[in-house]
A and B are shown apart, each in its own frame.
Chain A
Amino acid sequence: NAGVMQNPRHLVRRRGQEARLRCSPMKGHSHVYWYRQLPEEGLKFMVYLQKENIIDESGMPKERFSAEFPKEGPSILRIQQVVRGDSAAYFCASSPDIGEKLFFGSGTQLSVL
């Protein structure tokens, strides 16, 4: 089992560009969570998805941010018109079911110039 795979590991964008972060959950996991981590801070919940459904997006900014988890393919976190404040590490985690352990990917470090 390859674990939770995230790519790219590092992403550099200029202000105003779009950032797409990808997450492939562990095999057999249908629950995906996205978290954001600012330098020297904790992990902040953004969004929880199951296949083809957004279940809880209470931690995601209403504008510029969107997430999807299609029937086929990885989960995508999309940030439009990035600003410097979006610079952070974005982690994806997956679990096989609600209430099961969450396993994290290696994260994507987004830097906005």
Chain B
Amino acid sequence: GENVEQHPSTLSVQEGDSAVIKCTYSDSASNYFPWYKQELGKRPQLIIDIRSNVGEKKDQRIAVTLNKTAKHFSLHITETQPEDSAVYFCAASLIGNTGKLIFGQGTTLQVKP
């Protein structure tokens, strides 16, 4: 089955700096890769996603890149703000199968003012 590894487990940056979180997946058939943000005690919220027919996707300060050959994808947050502090999860799934998401272990991002 699919396995998703996420690094780093914790990340601390200064406000205004960039943050990068990386994930690798094992099943080459996976074709959908969302990223979720979870604040303490809250629900995971989808912030951006990418499908395997696209190499990069951007939404304001957030971007995701996908390298299918290497089976890894990354989340990039530019001009970080304190409100970006949260736990970020990557996930992978195979569209057309059950649609279930396999999540990485999470990255705790702390943005220092």
Residues of A within 8 A of B (CB): 4, 31, 33, 35, 40-45, 48, 55-56, 58, 91, 95, 97-107
A98 and B42 within 8 A (CB): no
Contact residue among B42, B49, B100, B104 (Cβ-Cβ distance under 8 Å from A101): B49
Q: Given the complex of chains A and B, what is the CA–CA distance between A35 and B45 in angstroms?
A: 14
A95 and B102 within 8 A (CB): no
B99 and A42 within 8 A (CB): no
23 A-B Cβ contacts within 8 A? A33-B101, A42-B6, A42-B89, A42-B103, A42-B104, A42-B105, A42-B106, A43-B44, A43-B101, A43-B103, A45-B102, A48-B98, A48-B99, A91-B43, A98-B95, A98-B96, A98-B97, A98-B98, A101-B34, A101-B49, A102-B34, A104-B43, A106-B42
Residues from chain A with a CB closer than 8 A to the CB of B36 are: 104
B34 to chain A, nearest CB (A): 7
A99 and B105 within 8 A (CB): no
Contact residue among B46, B95, B99, B103 (Cβ-Cβ distance under 8 Å from A103): B46
- How many residue pairs link A and B with beta carbons under 8 A? The number is 61
A100 to chain B, nearest CB (A): 7
Q: Given the complex of chains A and B, what is the CA–CA distance between A97 and B98 in angstroms?
A: 10
Residues from chain B with a CB closer than 8 A to the CB of A104 are: 36, 43-45
A1 to chain B, nearest CB (A): 15
Residues from chain B with a CB closer than 8 A to the CB of A95 are: 99
Q: Given the complex of chains A and B, what is the CA–CA distance between A3 and B56 in angstroms?
A: 29
